[in-house]
Structure 1
Amino acid sequence: MDASPAAGGPLPAYRAMLAEGTLQPDAAQARAAEMLHDLWRRTRGYDPHPEEPEQGGFFGRFLRRKPVAPEEAPAGTPMGLYLVGEVGRGKSMLMDLFFATAEVARKQRIHFHEFMQHRVHARIHAWKRKHGNTADPIPPLADSIAEEAALLCFDEFQVHDIADAMILGRLFQALFARGTVVVATSNTAPDDLFKGRPGRDAFLPFIALIKRRLEVLVLDAARDYRRERILDMPTWHMPADARAEAAMDRAFRELTGQDHGSPMQLTLLGRAISVPQAVDGVARFDFDALCGQPLGPADYLAVATHFHTLLLDGIPRLGAENFDKAKRFITLVDALYEHRVKLVASAAASPDRIYERGENAAMFARTASRLHEMQSRDWRGRPHLT
């Protein structure tokens, strides 16, 4: 039998990290660890025993035509947890301790955007291609997800897309009715989800459902650990050579704890923006992948609101010969600046020497000024605006 602290649940694991000096004492984190440990106790050995999948996989489940039950969850289903707080408060770290120790046979930990794109929209699209628009895909979709996981842990729960907003209410009602337990981290309180967006009134029942089924804990930690890591980190590496690439690799590792991120896609008005590497709100792009493509202000806004930190490799010298790229870069920097996205970059020159000559050099002066300001310790200490 495993005698490590992790074997006893998230609270012993958290306390072991304190004892080792990996973490510093923090009252808000300690409270969150206690609540997660309580949920860990309530979910030990939990399994609502979903029906066996029928022949035909996802499509075969339509034959059952199991409705979206009006009740929210079967009796005895443990309440889930919604951890909300600003970036860098330790939400993902605490949820990962819970997930690693959870004694639930069928469990999944997934970034919420990836869940919506690959588990929800892709399956609904495949369903409609096969059955048309008259058949309801939500019950069999909920069956398939519930069969894969009795415990779902979502990182970075956020709703920016009207297509997501219209699906979530019925899908989560169906998942809760099938006994699925949900734990989520978010930078946004439930009452502020999809706030100010067209169609939000139709989204309000989902918010009410979340507040009924999940305990909401505001993680108002005393320190922003992630922001502290970037405060004194060099953020502009030049020239864009092998040494700069190594520095960018180190920065990504320090900010994410990983050597490489996973590719993902942001969807916007039916288009997809490919993100080469993403981990927990940190994205890494090559300059040409972000500014050499026909992207516009709405695309850069989606990047700026979705990611709190952007690593951008290989910013070249700009001028009349590549002015299309220069215009996109100006638009990108404006979006990053307005939403206080932290930028780490490798470049051919300092910001005020990237675009030195030509009739449009004056246009770039404001961008260079913003890039200089974004390197300051004071600016990097400001919270991300979604």
Structure 2
Amino acid sequence: MVALRLCDRNPRVEADELIAALVPPPRFDQVRFDTYLPNPDEPSQAAAVQACQAFAERVAARRGQGGGWLRSLLGGGGSQPSGKPGLYLDGGFGVGKTHLLASIWHAVPEPRAYGTFVELTHLVGALGFTQAVRLLSGHRLLAIDEFELDDPGDTMLMTRLISELTAAGVFVAATSNTLPDKLGEGRFAADNFLREIQSLASKFAVVRVDGPDYRHRGLPEAPEPMTDQELAASAAGIPDASLDDFDALCAHLAKVHPSQYGRLVAGVSAVHLRGLHAAPDQDVALRLVALGDRLYDRAVPVAVSGERLSSLFTEEMLRGGYRKKYLRAISRLVALSRDIPGREKLETPTG
């Protein structure tokens, strides 16, 4: 069986498909509040479930178009004490923030939209700001996963978008590894955009979710890299698996907008990367983060030859402003690396 190559794929999503595609990824199709299992040693997790349920009730109580969050504040409609139109889940990676965000989305009647931060910025770029606001302003809820402000343009764009949507009565729920008033810190001249960042932060009630990364509780370290021969045999033995040279894939990712990475890996059962090594620069590293997120969303296993997946980002990168993004990517990719079919056969000692 010949493995397919991600480098041969050039996905394109038309503008009219973008709104319809704003739903939780397949991994979170079935999650609900009652499937979230709070860590008994972390009381903030149970409290977060209650806060998210209360917020979802406020959103569900919205009546008519426009001003919904204000009417729910004045007319009862929920127990969220702040009365703010936004809920912001802050915490480390692997504590279930995306699970809770998707649970809010599932608990709210349509119309509703769910997307990652990069998908939403791409949506605005593809549709134009006015059209994006028009199409989203009739929604009850906009859920934003992986909220980060990586450059000044994104800061201005998301401040305007959230301001326009909340004024129209749209509730906004978001997840991030960074408090809203600290967004952009360490990445660009955030002080120059402090007013915009503070304006954005004022829209959200912050709910903290603490705890260890559930993906690695009591689990072994990532598997050793395969040899090139083992990697090729694994890819050939799994239907719809892909096999790419790591450097070639990194070059190809530069030609595909990160919002299309989900489409890039659609239908792929397992990803195999030959000759993995540390990302050569920040641009490549951030593309790999986005790819890792989409693979995790779709539960696509990952196998590599070369260096360990934990070596994907340099020590300098892990000390920089994107540290949390890189650690999240490592966490997710290591979890996926345990799921390659037949991996246990390669690790079974012989003789």
Q: Does the alignment reach a TM-score above 0.5?
A: yes
**Which residue matches 1:237?**
226
Per mean C-alpha deviation after superposition, the further-off stretch among 39-48 and 168-177 is 39-48
**Which residue matches 1:209?**
199
Provide the alpha-carbon RMSD of the alignment: 4.4
1:101 maps onto 2:107 in alignment: yes
What code does the residue aligned with 1:114 have?
A: E
Question: Structure 1 residues 105, 304: closer, same or farther in 2, change over 3 A?
Answer: closer
Distance, in Å, in 1 between the alignment partners of 2:125 and 2:106 is 28
Question: Structure 1 residues 157, 230: closer, same or farther in 2, change over 3 A?
Answer: farther
What code does the residue aligned with 1:94 have?
A: L
1:49 maps onto 2:65 in alignment: yes
Please say if residues 47 and 150 of structure 1, whose CA atoms lie closer than 8 Å, have aligned partners that are also in contact. Answer: no
Question: Structure 1 residues 90, 271: closer, same or farther in 2, change over 3 A?
Answer: closer
Distance, in Å, in 1 between the alignment partners of 2:125 and 2:51 is 32
Q: Pick from 297, 300, 307: which aligns with 2:284? A: 300
**Which residue matches 2:126?**
122
Distance, in Å, in 1 between the alignment partners of 2:117 and 2:237 is 30
Please say if residues 48 and 150 of structure 1, whose CA atoms lie closer than 8 Å, have aligned partners that are also in contact. Answer: no
Higher-Rg structure is: 1
What code does the residue aligned with 2:101 have?
A: M
| Shift, 1:183, TM fit | 0.5
Please say if residues 139 and 174 of structure 1, whose CA atoms lie closer than 8 Å, have aligned partners that are also in contact. Answer: no
Distance, in Å, in 1 between the alignment partners of 2:159 and 2:68 is 11
Distance, in Å, in 1 between the alignment partners of 2:49 and 2:89 is 11
Please say if residues 304 and 336 of structure 1, whose CA atoms lie closer than 8 Å, have aligned partners that are also in contact. Answer: no
SS in 1 for 2:58: helix
Distance, in Å, in 2 between the alignment partners of 1:335 and 1:16 is 33
**Which residue matches 1:36?**
52
**Which residue matches 1:375?**
none
| Shift, 1:112, TM fit | 1.7
SS in 2 for 1:84: strand
Distance, in Å, in 1 between the alignment partners of 2:163 and 2:68 is 6
Per mean C-alpha deviation after superposition, the further-off stretch among 224-233 and 163-172 is 224-233
1:151 maps onto 2:141 in alignment: yes
Please say if residues 88 and 207 of structure 2, whose CA atoms lie closer than 8 Å, have aligned partners that are also in contact. Answer: yes
Distance, in Å, in 2 between the alignment partners of 1:229 and 1:140 is 48
What code does the residue aligned with 1:164 have?
A: D
SS in 2 for 1:237: coil
| Shift, 1:101, TM fit | 1.7
**Which residue matches 2:313?**
335
1:224 maps onto 2:213 in alignment: yes
Distance, in Å, in 1 between the alignment partners of 2:288 and 2:87 is 27
Question: Structure 1 residues 334, 288: closer, same or farther in 2, change over 3 A?
Answer: closer
| Shift, 1:193, TM fit | 0.8
What are the superposed Cα offsets for residues 47-95 of structure 1, whole Å, 9 maximum, x if unpaired? 4415xxxxxxxxxxxxxxxxxxxx9975546532100111101111122
SS in 2 for 1:226: helix
Unaligned runs of 5+ in 1: 1-12, 51-70, 125-137, 251-265, 317-328, 347-386
Per mean C-alpha deviation after superposition, the further-off stretch among 201-210 and 228-237 is 228-237
Higher relative contact order (CA 8 A, sep 6+): 2
Distance, in Å, in 2 between the alignment partners of 1:90 and 1:306 is 18
Please say if residues 151 and 188 of structure 2, whose CA atoms lie closer than 8 Å, have aligned partners that are also in contact. Answer: no
Please say if residues 261 and 291 of structure 2, whose CA atoms lie closer than 8 Å, have aligned partners that are also in contact. Answer: no
Distance, in Å, in 1 between the alignment partners of 2:209 and 2:236 is 35
Q: Pick from 78, 90, 93: which aligns with 2:96? A: 90
What code does the residue aligned with 2:125 have?
A: H
What are the superposed Cα offsets for residues 279-311 of structure 1, whole Å, 9 maximum, x if unpaired? 9xxxx86547999xxx96232232366577887
SS in 1 for 2:149: coil
Unaligned runs of 5+ in 2: 1-31, 74-82, 242-251, 296-300, 319-326, 338-351
Question: Structure 1 residues 211, 162: closer, same or farther in 2, change over 3 A?
Answer: closer
Distance, in Å, in 2 between the alignment partners of 1:165 and 1:267 is 24
What code does the residue aligned with 1:101 have?
A: A
**Which residue matches 1:322?**
none
| Shift, 1:122, TM fit | 1.3
**Which residue matches 2:180?**
190
What code does the residue aligned with 1:37 have?
A: Q
Normalised to the residue count of structure 1, the TM-score between the two structures is 0.54
Distance, in Å, in 1 between the alignment partners of 2:36 and 2:164 is 38
What code does the residue aligned with 1:40 have?
A: A
What code does the residue aligned with 1:335 have?
A: F
Number of aligned pairs?
Answer: 258
SS in 2 for 1:236: coil
Please say if residues 88 and 174 of structure 2, whose CA atoms lie closer than 8 Å, have aligned partners that are also in contact. Answer: yes
SS in 1 for 2:62: coil
What are the superposed Cα offsets for residues 97-135 of structure 1, whole Å, 9 maximum, x if unpaired? 222122x32111212211111x211122xxxxxxxxxxx
**Which residue matches 1:351?**
none
Normalised to the residue count of structure 2, the TM-score between the two structures is 0.59
| Shift, 1:206, TM fit | 3.2
| Shift, 1:230, TM fit | 6.0
SS in 2 for 1:164: helix
